[in-house]
């Protein structure tokens, strides 16, 4: 099994946690707190990623990015989505220059 399979395995685990007890599942406790709680964790973990990036400790950086990915996956799970949807979007973008893609966006596109 490749390391990439961990994302789909984790997707399945996170989906199963929708029925779990928040007292025994960290994921279920995040779901119970909704976007406010999950979003707060994503902000916190994002900050920790940036702080780790300023250090010369690759293991710490990888640990913090894993925390951030995990909490983003929980956010997707809370909406009934999963990492496969994000991988599909990255696949759609693959090979398209970010500079060219942004220049081709319609003027009405609200994304920055």
Ligand X SMILES: N=c1c2ncn([C@@H]3O[C@H](COP(=O)(O)OP(=O)(O)OP(=O)(O)O)[C@@H](O)[C@H]3O)c2ncn1[C@@H]1O[C@H](COP(=O)(O)O)[C@@H](O)[C@H]1O
Query: Are the beta carbons of 10 and 73 closer than 8 angstroms?
Result: yes
Query: Are the beta carbons of 57 and 83 closer than 8 angstroms?
Result: no
CB of 74 to ligand X, least distance (A): 8
How far, in Å, are 56, 57, 58, 87 from residue 30 at the CA level?
31, 29, 28, 23
CB of 17 to ligand X, least distance (A): 5
CB nearer to ligand X: give 17 or 75: 17
CB nearer to ligand X: give 51 or 101: 51
56 vs 58: CA distance, rounded Å: 6
CB nearer to ligand X: give 10 or 110: 10
CB nearer to ligand X: give 4 or 108: 4
Q: Which residues bind ligand X (CB under 6 A)?
A: 10, 13, 17, 25-28, 48, 67, 70
CB of 26 to ligand X, least distance (A): 3
CB of 89 to ligand X, least distance (A): 22
CA 11 from chain center: how many Å? Answer: 11
Around Cβ 98, how many Cβ atoms within 10 Å? 8
Q: Which residue is nearest to ligand X (CB)?
A: 27
């Amino acid at each position: 099994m490749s390391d990439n399979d961990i994302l789909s395995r984790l997707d399945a685990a996170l989906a199963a946690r929708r029925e779990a007890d928040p007292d025994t599942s960290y994921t279920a406790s995040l779901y119970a707190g909704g976007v406010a709680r999950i979003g707060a964790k994503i902000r916190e973990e994002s900050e920790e990623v940036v702080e780790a990036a300023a250090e010369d400790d690759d293991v710490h950086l990888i640990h913090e990015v894993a925390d951030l990915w995990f909490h983003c996956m929980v956010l997707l799970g809370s909406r009934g989505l999963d990492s496969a949807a994000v991988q599909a979007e990255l696949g759609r973008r693959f090979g398209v220059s970010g500079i060219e893609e942004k220049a081709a966006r319609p003027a009405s596109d609200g994304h920055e």
